[in-house]
Amino acid sequence: MTYTASSNVDGQSVLVLDDDSAVAEIITAMAISLGAQARFVCCADDFFRELDQATADVVIIDLQMPGRDGLEVMRELGTRGPVQVILTSGCDSRVLETARHSARINGLDVVSVLPKPVRRTALLAALKAVQVQNDSPKTAPIDFGSLAITAEMIKEALTNGQIRAHFQPKLRLRDHEPCGFEALARWEHPEMGMISPGVFVPLASMAELDRELCEVMLDQSLSFLAELGDTDLCMAVNVPMRVCAEPAFPALLDGYLQRFDLTPARLILEITEAGPVEMAQGEIDALTRLRMRGYSLSIDDFGTGVSSLERLVRIPFNELKIDRYFARDISTSPGAAKLVRNLVRIAKSMDMSVTIEGVEDAAMMQLSRELGCDIGQGFHIARPMPAEMARTWLIEQAGRLPV
Ligand code: C2E
Ligand code: CA
Ligand code: CA
């Protein structure tokens, strides 16, 4: 059944799945009254059939259903690519948190969890959270299957300057002083517009162009850092494990630092790993060797289920980075906050500093500090921005640069 919003407030498309048609209808009507375009279905088969016909900005899923329950639906949904989800349930908060975690492992983005009966104000807040994410810089709503990005195109973009480093500030939570930036890749395509790294980095990786991407990012980000002059700011660059393990990588890094006259302590290598968690001794040795040369190592995306505790223990990381999907819940979920506090404790016992990603408001920044995190990064502080804007931002932060 489909309704259309009469007052087009935001036109968000919402698909509700609840086995109780009366409940489904109420939630749908509420969403419509809030300005969304909502429709509902009452079983998993209809749900996937609906999604095959038209995508939704967000799906609202009931956890408890006869037949395929919410957990099973989320597992299947996860195989279709990233989707934003609102969960509803009459279960207690522990069950909801576990379900939220399971959704995340399936690659889903759980925007909110609503206890039943669903209240209008709670639904409004949840739908607004979806809106916030849609507001983030448009980064190519691209369907992998239909988009013809070839390895050749990426190779060319890496050499013709279309792939640019943007810089997102990192702030010391103790005194709110900037302490560095993370370099994030953007592909400024003349016809397709800005293409997100979430789209092209995995493709570059499949085309075995990780090292080339890494070189472009090192070149642009270290040149930016050098131009800032005499500061103690650090630059964090994302590097897949596989690139770090290349025998020639340490010499390559040394070359870049010499060229820009920077010390290794100014560079943080954020080790990303998308593959299985299996670790080869060769990789551990390669990372240890980089540490011995004075480079800082950060374990990226901690909390997403990819970066394992084993990795944390066996590799001499300097920094633990708590992923934004995980960090986001600390204000609303006592379990998430408790876990962050414990992670901080583990990190501190291993002499590591903790950076928390996805700091989206002042309350979260304050809480991150209270939980013991050292450094914050997120839209509340600043979005990733091109070099010139990042430089201006820095100057505005109390004139840290020599004029
Ligand atoms: P990441 O390393 O976890 O990077 C942080 C991501 O979080 C960035 O997305 C950033 O824009 C986003 N972010 C920062 N603050 C907030 C916030 O407050 N709220 C929200 N909702 N998001 C925030 P981005 O730039 O789209 O990058 C996505 C991923 O692509 C990165 O995740 C990283 O894994 C990969 N990536 C980006 N640049 C490179 C690169 O040069 N090389 C490699 N290998 N991977 C890269
Ligand atoms: Ca990163
Ligand atoms: Ca992350």
What number does the ligand 1 atom closest to the CA of 270 have?
A: 2
Cα–Cα distance measured from residue 255 to residue 303, given in angstroms and rounded to the nearest whole number: 33
Cα–Cα distance measured from residue 142 to residue 99, given in angstroms and rounded to the nearest whole number: 28
The average pLDDT across 278-303 equals 86
Mutate to test the pocket of ligand 1, among 184, 243, 325 (most ligand atoms within 8 A of CB): 184
Token pair 């989320």: residue: 74
Rg (CA), the chain: 22
What number does the ligand 1 atom closest to the CA of 377 have?
A: 15
The average pLDDT across 378-392 equals 96
Across 196-200, 275-279, 370-374, least confident range: 275-279
Q: What per-residue confidence (pLDDT) applies to 2?
A: 34
Q: What per-residue confidence (pLDDT) applies to 8?
A: 40
What's the mean pLDDT when you consider all of the chain? 85
- The 8-class DSSP code of residue 401 comes to S
Residues 243, 211 contacting (CB under 8 angstroms) = yes
How would you class 135 by CB atoms within 10 Å of its CB: exposed for 0-12, middle for 13-18, buried for 19 or more?
Answer: exposed
The average pLDDT across 283-292 equals 90
- The 8-class DSSP code of residue 385 comes to B
pLDDT above 70: percentage of residues in the chain: 88
**Rounded (5°) CA angle 302-303-308:** 70
Confidence of residue 11 (pLDDT cuts 50, 70, 90): confident
Q: What per-residue confidence (pLDDT) applies to 306?
A: 52
Residues 353, 347 contacting (CB under 8 angstroms) = yes
Distance 301 CA to ligand 3 centre (A): 4
The average pLDDT across 353-366 equals 95
Judged against a pLDDT cut of 50, whether residue 146 lies above it is answered with no
- Assess whether the C-beta atom of 178 lies below 6 angstroms from ligand 1: no
The superfamily (CATH) of domain 2-128 is Response regulator (3.40.50.2300)
- The 8-class DSSP code of residue 240 comes to E
Q: What per-residue confidence (pLDDT) applies to 283?
A: 84
- Assess whether the C-beta atom of 379 lies below 6 angstroms from ligand 1: yes
CA terminus-to-terminus distance, the chain:
63
- Assess whether the C-beta atom of 238 lies below 6 angstroms from ligand 1: yes
Q: pLDDT tens, 297-342?
A: 999 877 665 556 777 888 889 999 998 877 888 998 888 899 899 9
Across 28-32, 56-60, 302-306, 346-350, least confident range: 302-306
Across-strand partners of 62? 88
- The 8-class DSSP code of residue 6 comes to S
Judged against a pLDDT cut of 80, whether residue 92 lies above it is answered with no
The average pLDDT across 243-247 equals 92
Q: What per-residue confidence (pLDDT) applies to 141?
A: 36
Confidence of residue 131 (pLDDT cuts 50, 70, 90): low
The average pLDDT across 55-60 equals 91
Instruction: Report every protein residue that has its C-beta within 5 angstroms of ion ligand 3.
Output: 301, 323, 357
Judged against a pLDDT cut of 70, whether residue 400 lies above it is answered with no
Residues 151, 213 contacting (CB under 8 angstroms) = no
What number does the ligand 1 atom closest to the CA of 380 have?
A: 18
Judged against a pLDDT cut of 80, whether residue 275 lies above it is answered with no
The average pLDDT across 142-148 equals 44
Quick one: which of 86, 84, 85 has its CA closest to 118?
86
Mutate to test the pocket of ligand 1, among 167, 203, 320, 357 (most ligand atoms within 8 A of CB): 357
pLDDT above 90: percentage of residues in the chain: 49
What number does the ligand 1 atom closest to the CA of 381 have?
A: 18
Higher pLDDT, 354 or 84: 354
Q: Structural domain boundaries of the chain?
A: 2-128, 151-397
Cα–Cα distance measured from residue 106 to residue 79, given in angstroms and rounded to the nearest whole number: 8
Higher pLDDT, 194 or 356: 356
The answer for 188, left when phi > 0, alpha when psi is -120 to 50, beta otherwise, is beta
- Assess whether the C-beta atom of 324 lies below 6 angstroms from ligand 1: yes
Higher pLDDT, 355 or 57: 355
Distance 396 CA to ligand 3 centre (A): 26
- Assess whether the C-beta atom of 376 lies below 6 angstroms from ligand 1: no
Q: 166-202: b or e for each residue (b if 16 or more CB lie within 10 Å)?
A: bbbbbbebeeeebbbbbbbbbbebeeeeebbbebbbe
| Alpha carbon separation from 253 to 162, 185, 187, 219, 236 (Å, rounded) | 23, 18, 23, 10, 13
Among the bound ligands, the one closest to the CA of 301: 3
Higher pLDDT, 282 or 233: 233
Confidence of residue 279 (pLDDT cuts 50, 70, 90): low
Confidence of residue 169 (pLDDT cuts 50, 70, 90): very high
- Assess whether the C-beta atom of 97 lies below 6 angstroms from ligand 1: no
Distance 358 CA to ligand 1 centre (A): 10
Three-state DSSP class for 40?
A: strand
Distance 24 CA to ligand 2 centre (A): 39
Higher pLDDT, 103 or 386: 386
Distance 322 CA to ligand 3 centre (A): 7
What's the CATH fold of domain 151-397? Answer: TIM Barrel (3.20.20)
- Assess whether the C-beta atom of 19 lies below 6 angstroms from ligand 1: no
Within 241-338, strands assigned E span 267-272, 296-302, 319-322
Q: Residue 337: what residue type? A: A
Q: What per-residue confidence (pLDDT) applies to 139?
A: 33
Q: What per-residue confidence (pLDDT) applies to 70?
A: 85
Across 156-160, 244-248, 381-385, least confident range: 244-248
What number does the ligand 1 atom closest to the CA of 379 have?
A: 18
- Assess whether the C-beta atom of 184 lies below 6 angstroms from ligand 1: yes
Quick one: which of 165, 125, 105 has its CA closest to 301?
105
Judged against a pLDDT cut of 70, whether residue 20 lies above it is answered with yes
